Amino acid sequence: MSGTSPYRQLPSVDRLLGHSLLDPLVEQVGHDKAVHLARALLDEARAAIRRGEAPPAFDDLARVLADRLRAAARPSLRPVINATGVIIHTNLGRAPLSDAARAAVDAVSRGYSNLEYDLEAGRRGSRYVHAVTLLRDITGAEDALVVNNNAGAVFLILRALALGREVIISRGQLVEIGGGFRIPDILAESGAILHEVGTTNRTHLRDYERALGEQTALILRVHQSNFRQVGFVTQPSLADLVALAHAHGLPLVDDLGSGTFLDTRPFGLAYEPRVQDSLAAGADLVSFSGDKLLGGPQAGIIVGKAEYVERLRRHPLARALRVDKMTLSALEATLSAYRRGTATVGIPVWRMIAASVDSLRERAIGWADRLREAGVEASVEESVSAVGGGSLPGETLPTWAVVVRPSSAARLAAALRVWEPPIIARVEDDAVWLDPRTVLPEQDDALVEGIVRCVVG
Ligand SMILES: *Cc1c(COP(=O)(O)O)cnc(C)c1O
């Protein structure tokens, strides 16, 4: 091209897309999207020239476009390395699935399944039969229903059992779970009428007793989940609430939030009410999440008395909240680890909770050694991990973290976040802390490599 116009020195869209750097990328993104990105980049270059800048070199343009095409080719939702030490990290997808759960999803989703087919009868079956036997076996419940998530489970219960009628709940349990999910809001949306009793810190059985009336549909207990009250605090026992509800012919519904089948105390954690304990205390319906302490897929699990579960199952809203075959298969595989008694070895969340301090220290030392060999200053220091996910607030597990102290911890943490795969670390005391507890063993190499490249370049 002749002429002195700097604009004439810019390549055409076609010539730019033909650059060897972009060869596999254009195909990955799709031709139209690639053309769109190339045009936008050339527009930017023309604007820069208008401001008096020199036209960019052909190879530089191609390099920038290659980065943009790579970014466009990446899925929006993708794996990250969780080095925060928060085991059930709601922002990072909560519970990682077990090998068995992933294999079950793969088996059931790559072809057809008996999702709604009765194999013995050779006719239409119900998706609601799956996972029920496992849940019954593990919890001792009469019946069970799995829906999309626990917020949906609570909503369905209130709608089906308390529409236009009163639900009695303690003022100490009118909690906000996170992500804007507030118990009073969900009650209002369901069409149930909130009847709050007691005070923020103290609610007595007699408070519930006084509130009972013609309009009462049920008594609801909600796990406080993400905060803890200490000091001058009281709540009636679940057994007392159950006795009161039953004396008036009403159901007691217990929203456990996280819900666990295993006793948390042997792991050095506070007591977290188990699903079995609530049922043994007489709760008519107990609801909990599939992807918190259970360590399975996102789901809302309801267990309890058959007459109530059946009413929920028949409600039209159940259809709107139903789960798909991938959720059910992952859940069944997760549940069967509990029934076998292998949850602490098979389910990642429990493996992380059960990890010994010595094994974590050993891993941290291994990371630090490799980092130092590559020229990154790193120390190994005592720290704490958290369970997270709105369970066991304030409870921590002792751990050892790798600590990197660059000139700017915030800048290193930001670089790690946009690394591929993204590495999410904690910033504390102007240092970057990486906790091995939540990093899957197969991610060790990628983690060390990512830190080295972000620090050393
Ligand atoms: C987390 C939680 C919920 C919501 O559960 P999702 O599975 O996130 O919908 C409801 N109630 C309580 C008490 C919780 O802790």
Instruction: Tell me the DSSP string of 72-112.
Output: HHS-SS---EE-S-EEEBGGGTBSPPPHHHHHHHHHHHSS-
- The two tokens of residue 294 are 């259970």
Q: Are 287 and 154 in contact (CB under 8 A)?
A: yes
Instruction: Calculate mean pLDDT across residues 64-79.
Output: 96
User: Read out DSSP for 7-38?
Assistant: GGGSPPHHHHHTSGGGHHHHHHH-HHHHHHHH
From first CA to last CA, the distance across the chain in angstroms is 38
Query: Model's pTM, two decimal places?
Result: 0.94
Q: Which of 170, 181, 302, 331 to mutate to test the pocket of ligand 1 (most atoms within 8 A of CB)?
A: 181
- The two tokens of residue 372 are 């130092």
CA pair distance 358, 345, nearest whole angstrom: 17
Q: Which of 146, 285, 289, 392 to mutate to test the pocket of ligand 1 (most atoms within 8 A of CB)?
A: 289
Residues of the chain with CATH 3.40.640.10: 99-342
What is the distance in A from the centroid of ligand 1 to the CA of 371? 39
- For position 276, what pLDDT does the model report? 98
Instruction: Calculate mean pLDDT across residues 277-289.
Output: 98
CA pair distance 444, 424, nearest whole angstrom: 13
- For position 102, what pLDDT does the model report? 98
What is the distance in A from the centroid of ligand 1 to the CA of 150? 5
Which atom in ligand 1 lies closest to the alpha carbon of residue 175? 13
| Band of residue 3 on the pLDDT scale cut at 50, 70, 90 | low
Name which residue sits closest to atom 13 of ligand 1, judged by CA: 257
What is the distance in A from the centroid of ligand 1 to the CA of 395? 18
Burial class (CB in 10 A: 0-12, 13-18, 19+), 128: buried
On the question of a cis peptide bond just before residue 421, with omega within 30 degrees of 0, the verdict is yes
What is the distance in A from the centroid of ligand 1 to the CA of 421? 29
Which atom in ligand 1 lies closest to the alpha carbon of residue 389? 1
What is the distance in A from the centroid of ligand 1 to the CA of 177? 6
**Tens-place pLDDT, residues 310-352:** 999 999 999 999 999 999 999 999 999 999 999 999 999 999 9
Residues of the chain with CATH 3.90.1150.110: 81-90+350-455
The second-level CATH assignment, the architecture, of 99-342 is 3-Layer(aba) Sandwich (3.40)
179 pLDDT above the threshold of 80? no
CATH number of the domain located at residue range(s) 81-90+350-455 in this protein: 3.90.1150.110
Q: Which of 88, 90, 150, 227 to mutate to test the pocket of ligand 1 (most atoms within 8 A of CB)?
A: 150
Token pair 């604009």 in the structure block, residue: 7
Mean per-residue pLDDT over the chain, rounded: 96
**Tens-place pLDDT, residues 75-134:** 999 999 999 999 999 999 999 999 999 999 999 999 999 999 999 999 999 999 999 999
Which atom in ligand 1 lies closest to the alpha carbon of residue 289? 7
- The two tokens of residue 168 are 């009695």
Q: Which residues line ligand 1 (CB under 6 A)?
A: 149-151, 154, 177, 181, 222-223, 225, 255, 257-258, 289, 300, 390
* Percentage, residues of the chain above pLDDT 70: 99
